[in-house]
Amino acid sequence: MNTDLGMQGAMAMAQATPVLSPHAQATLAADKKVAQQFESVFVSQFLGSMFEGVKTDGAFGGGPGEEMFRSLMLDEYGKQIVSRGGFGLSAAITKQLLAQQEKPQ
């Protein structure tokens, strides 16, 4: 009797989980990656506007080198923020990309 309950639970899970074709799974993964990249660029631009007023001179400033490499630092900040959850834009973007792909042409 215990096996029947286990089998019924497994069947219910299998029926509840949508079956995606290999192409759909690849598309989903690609869409998620693109959405995260887009959100990363957005966050980097957002941070760039925050850092515009920060001077790079003074005792602890990096001078011209810091100015030159600031964009690289902000890109990495953006990637790290998105990898930890970000602003939540990538989920919405992924949803919209998938909806556009499902529309008949």
Q: pTM of the prediction?
A: 0.65
pLDDT value, residue 74: 92
Give Cα separations from 68 to 16, 52, 78, 101 (angstroms).
Answer: 52, 13, 17, 40
Residue 53, token pair as written in the block: 């007023």
Residue 75, pLDDT score: 93
The pLDDT value recorded for residue 100 is 83
| pLDDT by residue, tens only, the chain of 105 residues | 455 556 676 666 656 656 555 556 678 888 889 999 999 999 999 999 888 887 777 777 777 778 788 889 999 999 999 999 888 889 898 888 888 887 766
Domain ranges of the chain: 21-102
Q: Is the dihedral of CA 62, 66, 72, 75 positive or negative?
A: positive
